[in-house]
A and B are shown apart, each in its own frame.
Chain A
Amino acid sequence: MKVRKSDLIRTLLSRCASLFRRQTLDADLDEELHTHIAFAIEENLKRGMSEQESRKAAMRAFGGVSQTKERYRTQQGLPWIETLAHDVRYALRQLRKSPGFAVTAILTLALGVGSVTAVFSVVKGVLLQPYAFRDPGQVIVWRETIREMQRAVPLMPDNYRHYLNLKTHANSIQDAAIIQNPVFSISTGVDHPHMTEGLAVSPNFFSVLGVNPLMGRTFAQEEAQSGRDKEIILTWGAWQRLFHGNPSILGMTLRVGDEAQTIVGVLPKSFRFPVVSMMPGQATYGSTERYEIFKPLVPSQEELTVNDGDFNYLVVARLKPGVSVQQAQGELDGIEKATAAADHLAIHLSVVVQPFSQEITGDVSKPLWLLFAAVTGVLLMACVNLANLQIARGVAREPETALRAALGAGRARLLQAVLIENFLLGFAGGLGGIAFALIGEKLLLQTAANLPRMNEVHLSAPMLFFALALSVLTSLGFGILPALRSLRVLPQGALQSSSTRLSSNKQAVRSRRLLVAVEVACSVTLLIVTALITRSFSHLLTQDRQFNSQHVVMARTDLSEPRYSSGENMPQNPGADPGSLARDSMIARTLDRLHSLPGVQSVAITNVIPLSGDMSVDGLVRPDHPVPAGQTPLANRRFISPGYFDAMEIPLLAGRDFNQQDRDNPRVLILSDKTAKTVFPGENPLGRTIRHWERIYTIVGIAADARINDLKRNAPVFYLPYWDFPPLNPVFLVRSSQTIQTLGPVMRQAIWSIDPNISIPTVISLDTQVDESVATDRFQAIILSSFGGAALLLAVLGIYGVLVYSVSLRTQEFGIRIALGSSRATLARLVLRDASYPVLSGIALGLLGAAAAARWVSSILYETSAIDPWAIGLSMALLLIAALLASLIPLRKATSVDPMIALRAE
C-alpha cells in the first residue's frame, strides 16, 4: 500500500478528533460488532444450525471480539496521549485531595521564581545587556591621575592636550573621542525655555561608538572650531518630543542657549548613551535617554596649551581588535609618563583605563549582584522547603504507592505519575511566578528608579518563558529525589502494619532535618547580611549631617541668556562686566521677592544643588606658608548669599556670616571646620588670609562640617559671597513651613515675575534631594530586608513542618512515656532537643556563610564593621525566637497526648 503524506495527515487529524468523542465512538464500535455477529448468526440459522451452534460458529469466524476492540481502539486514538491524560487526571485528583500541600508548593515556587526573575531582569538590563554600540566590549574610558593629588581626588577627568597626545601616539587604540556634559537651555520658541542635557563631543564620537545617524550626518572635523560649531544632532527621542517626528527636520533650527543651531542629523531610535560624569563615580545615575542633544566640542585656546590643569573632559575610545584593556592601560600609561617627563612637569601623571561598562555601572555592580545572590538564596530555601514537603508526602503516600506497585504498576509508570504531578506544580508555580515577576519588576523600577540604565530594564517574553522553565525544572528536580526515595519502598513492607514502617520514616526525618539545617544556614547568612546593610543604611540616615533638610525647597535657575552671560564669565576673572551685574541684580531682586512670600523663614542662594557631589574643587594657598606644588589643600568652592547658613541650618562655629557690608568688598571667605583644620593646623584661622585666583581673601568665619556634597563623605568646603562672582546657575533655597506642592509654583512665579525668560529646570525639596542621593542604599536595604523576611518565614515553615511530622510519628511513644509516669516537661525537652539539632548546626553553618559573605559586602558598608556584633546578635536572636515560635504548636501537641487514645490508635 502506498501511503502518501496527505493520507498520514488525514489519519493524524482523525485520530486527534476521535480523542474528543471517545464515548460515542466506543458505543458505535460496540453496536457495529454486535450487528456483525447478529448477521452471522442469522445466516447460520438459515443454514439450519441450532441457535447455540450458530452463535459459536459466528464467534469463531469473527475471532476475538475484545482483541479486535482493543486493536481498533489503539488505532483509533493516540494511546500515549490517553495514558498521559489519565495520569494528569490522577495527579490533579491527588493534588485536589491535599490542597494545603498544593497551594503551599505553588506559592513557594511562584514567589521564589518570581522574585529571582524580577531581580535578574534588573541585573540583565543594568549590568549584562550590551550597550547599543558596535562591539561594546571594545569601548573604554580613560582618566588621568596626579600622584600629588591622589588622596583628595583619586581619579581625574582628562586634559585636552594629553588626550591629543595619547590619541596620536597609542597603537592599542583605534580611535578616541573626547566629551563633556554641559547643560543646555533650549527653546522651540513657544514656551518658557527649558533645560535639557546633552553632550559636547569631538566629531569622531559617533564613529568611535560605531553609530550611524538615522537621518542626515554626523559632525565633520572642521566643525570642532569656534564659529563653525553651530550645528547639532538630535536623539530620536528629542526629535519626537520637540518636533513630533517631523520628517523634514534636517536644516531646521533650535535655540540652544542664546544661539540658533542647525539640526544636521537624527540618531537611530536604538541609540542610547548612559549618563556620564566628568568626575568619577558621581551621578552616572539616571535614564539613558537623558541626553537629547549632541553638539561639536570646541576646546578653548587655553585648554589647547595648558599641560598641568584644565582636567575638564572624559575620553571614550575604541580598542583595536584583539587588544585587551590591560595592554591599552600599559601603553597609554607609558606614553603619558614619558611625555610628562619630557615636558619636565612638576606633577606626576598617569592614565587609568576602564571598560566603558565599569565606568557607568561599576558602583552598582556589587549591590546588584548581592541582591541577586540573596534572592537566589531565597529560591534555594524555597526549593528545600518544597523537597521537605515532598518527602513528607512521599512517606504519607507509601501505602498507596505500595498498593499500586503490588497491583502491577511498573516503576516507570509510578515515576511518570510523580513526574507529572511535579510538572503540574511547577507549571502552576511558573505561571504564578510570571505574575509575581511582573509585579516585582514594577516595584523594583519604582524603588530603584535612578539606577543607571534602569530605563532599559525590561521583562522580555524569553525571560518570562525562562521563569516558567525554571519553575518546572526546579519542581521536577526537587520533587524527583524524594519520589525516587519513596519508590524504593517494598510493597510487602509498606502494606504491613505501620510499626515496621517506622524505620523508613525515621530515615525520612533524618533527611528532612538535614534540609532544615541547610535552610537555617541560608537564612542566618541572609539575615546577617541584611542586618549589616540595614544598619549601614540607618547609620547613613541618622548620623549627624550638620544641616537640616526639612522644610527647604530649592529652585535651580539658568542664566545663560545673552544679557546675563555677556562679557567675561570665567570665574577666575570676575569683574564688573554687564553680565555679572545683570545676574547680581536679578539674584538680589529675586531674593527680596522670595523673602516677602508669606510663611518664609529664610532665603538664600548657592551655586550648586546640595548632595550632587564634589564640584568646583579648588586649591587654597596660604601666602604666609607656601607648600610644594601639587600639595595645595583642595576644597569645594561654593558661592552663597548671606543667610545661607540659616536656611540650611548649618551651625557657625566661629566668626560671622556674610552680610550686606561685604557687597562692596567681597574678598572674604568662610571655611568649613575640616578645611580650616587642614589649611591652618593648630592655629586660629579667623582674620588670616588665603590666596585664591591671585587675589587675597580674609577668613571671617568657620562653619560646621556639613555633609552637603555627599552624606557618606565629609567633604572640605569653602564659601565665598556670591557678589564675588554671581553664579550662572543660582539655586534659590527657601526655608518655610509650606510644602513643595504649594511653595514650588509660588517660587516659579516669583522668579518669572523678575524675568519671564529664565528657565527653571529643577524645583525640588531638600528632603527629596537627600532621599535621592541615597536611593541605591535604600533600594538595597528595602529589597534585602524583604528577602531576609522571606528567608526567616521559610525557615520557620521548615522547622515547623519537620517537628510536627516527627511528633506525629512519636505520638505512641509519647503516650507510653506518659503512661509510665514521664512528666510533660520531660516530653517538651524531648521535642525541643529534636528541634535544636538542625537549628544549632544550621546556625553554625550560617555563621560560616555570613563570615564569607561579610568579607565580600564590607566594601559597600558605610561606617559599619562587617563583624558588627549588633547585626550578628540580632539576627541570631531573631532566628532563635522564630525557631521557638515554630516549635510551639508541635510542643503543645506532644505534651497534650492522651495516653489512652495514643495507645489504642493501632
Chain B
Amino acid sequence: MGESKSDVLQGTLDLMVLKTLESMGSLHGYGIACRIEQISDDTLSLNQGTIYPALLRLEQRGWIKSEWGTSEANRRAKFYSLSRIGRKQIEMETENWERIAATMARFLAPSN
C-alpha cells in the first residue's frame, strides 16, 4: 500500500462514525467526515459523500438518530447523535473488531 491512501474497509466506516459520535456527541455530516479524516491522519481515501449512505444505514437500524439544528456559524444543519441501541452496539462492535484485528495480526506476524 505504501504511501497511497488505503480504501475504507467494508463495515469499518460504520464503526468509525459511531465512535466519532461517541466521543464528540451530536455532530453534523460535515463534522463527522472531517473528524474521521483528522483521526485517520489523512491515510484513508474517503469521499466525504460516502458518509451519507452510511449515516442513513445506521439511522435505519436505529443506532443513531438525527434532528435539524443550527450550527455555530448559524447555518441550518442535520445533527446526528448516538441512540441507546447505538451505544450498546459500539461495545459489541469494538470487541468484534479487536478480535478480527488480533486474528489478522497473528496471520501477519513472522511465522517463527
Within 8 A of B (CB), among A9-65: 10-11, 14-15, 28-29, 31-33, 35-36, 38-40, 42, 61-65
Determine if B75 is an interface residue (Cβ-Cβ < 8 Å).
Answer: yes
CB of A10 within 8 A of CB of B60, answer yes
Interface of B is mostly: helix
Determine if B101 is an interface residue (Cβ-Cβ < 8 Å).
Answer: no
Determine if A7 is an interface residue (Cβ-Cβ < 8 Å).
Answer: yes
Determine if A905 is an interface residue (Cβ-Cβ < 8 Å).
Answer: no
Shortest B30–chain A CB gap in Å is: 4
CB of B49 within 8 A of CB of A67, answer yes
The distance in angstroms between the C-alpha atoms of A62 and B50, with both chains bound, is: 8
Interface size class of A (residues with CB under 8 A): 20 to 34
Determine if A151 is an interface residue (Cβ-Cβ < 8 Å).
Answer: no
Determine if A243 is an interface residue (Cβ-Cβ < 8 Å).
Answer: no
CB of B52 within 8 A of CB of A33, answer yes
Query: A31's closest neighbor in chain B, by CB?
Result: B76
Query: A1's closest neighbor in chain B, by CB?
Result: B11
Determine if B59 is an interface residue (Cβ-Cβ < 8 Å).
Answer: yes
Query: A3's closest neighbor in chain B, by CB?
Result: B61
Shortest B111–chain A CB gap in Å is: 30
Residues of chain A lying within 8 A (CB to CB) of residue B52: 29, 32-33, 68, 72
CB of A7 within 8 A of CB of B78, answer no
The distance in angstroms between the C-alpha atoms of A67 and B49, with both chains bound, is: 9
Determine if A71 is an interface residue (Cβ-Cβ < 8 Å).
Answer: yes
Shortest A9–chain B CB gap in Å is: 10
CB of B60 within 8 A of CB of A38, answer no
Residues of chain A lying within 8 A (CB to CB) of residue B30: 35-36, 39-40
Residues of chain A lying within 8 A (CB to CB) of residue B29: 32, 35-36
Residues of chain A lying within 8 A (CB to CB) of residue B60: 10-11, 14-15, 75
Q: Decide yes or no: A1 and B14 within 8 Å by CB, A35-B76, A76-B56 being known contacts.
A: yes
The distance in angstroms between the C-alpha atoms of A76 and B50, with both chains bound, is: 14
Taking each of B11, B53, B75, which has the highest tally of chain A beta carbons within 10 Å of its own beta carbon? B53
The distance in angstroms between the C-alpha atoms of A72 and B15, with both chains bound, is: 19
CB of B49 within 8 A of CB of A62, answer yes
Residues of chain B lying within 8 A (CB to CB) of residue A29: 52
Determine if A904 is an interface residue (Cβ-Cβ < 8 Å).
Answer: no
The distance in angstroms between the C-alpha atoms of A38 and B53, with both chains bound, is: 19
Determine if A2 is an interface residue (Cβ-Cβ < 8 Å).
Answer: yes
Residues of chain B lying within 8 A (CB to CB) of residue A1: 11, 14-15, 93
CB of B75 within 8 A of CB of A72, answer no
Query: A65's closest neighbor in chain B, by CB?
Result: B49
Determine if B8 is an interface residue (Cβ-Cβ < 8 Å).
Answer: no
Determine if B108 is an interface residue (Cβ-Cβ < 8 Å).
Answer: no
Residues of chain B lying within 8 A (CB to CB) of residue A32: 29, 52, 77-78
Determine if B104 is an interface residue (Cβ-Cβ < 8 Å).
Answer: no
Within 8 A of A (CB), among B62-103: 62-63, 71, 73, 75-78, 92-93, 96
CB of B75 within 8 A of CB of A75, answer no
Query: A14's closest neighbor in chain B, by CB?
Result: B60
The distance in angstroms between the C-alpha atoms of A39 and B48, with both chains bound, is: 12
B-contact bits for A59-85, CB 8 A (1 contact / 0 none): 001111101100110011000000000
Determine if B5 is an interface residue (Cβ-Cβ < 8 Å).
Answer: no
Taking each of B28, B60, B63, which has the highest tally of chain A beta carbons within 10 Å of its own beta carbon? B60
Residues of chain A lying within 8 A (CB to CB) of residue B33: 36
Residues of chain B lying within 8 A (CB to CB) of residue A31: 76, 78
Shortest A108–chain B CB gap in Å is: 46
The distance in angstroms between the C-alpha atoms of A67 and B59, with both chains bound, is: 20
Within 8 A of A (CB), among B28-50: 28-31, 33, 47-50
Shortest A78–chain B CB gap in Å is: 12
Residues of chain B lying within 8 A (CB to CB) of residue A71: 53
Residues of chain A lying within 8 A (CB to CB) of residue B78: 28, 31-32, 35
Residues of chain B lying within 8 A (CB to CB) of residue A65: 49
Shortest B90–chain A CB gap in Å is: 11
Residues of chain A lying within 8 A (CB to CB) of residue B73: 39, 42
CB of B76 within 8 A of CB of A61, answer no
CB of B53 within 8 A of CB of A75, answer yes
Shortest B50–chain A CB gap in Å is: 7
Shortest B108–chain A CB gap in Å is: 22
The distance in angstroms between the C-alpha atoms of A61 and B57, with both chains bound, is: 21
Residues of chain B lying within 8 A (CB to CB) of residue A39: 28, 30-31, 71, 73, 75, 77
Residues of chain B lying within 8 A (CB to CB) of residue A68: 47, 49-50, 52-53
Shortest B85–chain A CB gap in Å is: 8
CB of B50 within 8 A of CB of A10, answer no
CB of A35 within 8 A of CB of B48, answer no
CB of B28 within 8 A of CB of A35, answer yes
CB of A2 within 8 A of CB of B56, answer no
The distance in angstroms between the C-alpha atoms of A759 and B75, with both chains bound, is: 97
Residues of chain A lying within 8 A (CB to CB) of residue B77: 32, 35, 39
Find A61's partner among B48, B53, B59, B62 (CB 8 Å cutoff): B48
Query: A7's closest neighbor in chain B, by CB?
Result: B61
A sample of 12 inter-chain contacts (CB < 8 A) reads A1-B93, A7-B62, A7-B63, A10-B60, A10-B62, A11-B61, A33-B49, A35-B28, A38-B75, A42-B73, A65-B49, A67-B49
Extra contacts besides A2-B93, A31-B76, A31-B78 (7): CB < 8 Å: A1-B93, A10-B62, A33-B52, A35-B29, A35-B30, A67-B49, A68-B53
Question: Interface on A for B, CB 8 Å cutoff?
Answer: 1-3, 7, 10-11, 14-15, 28-29, 31-33, 35-36, 38-40, 42, 61-65, 67-68, 71-72, 75-76
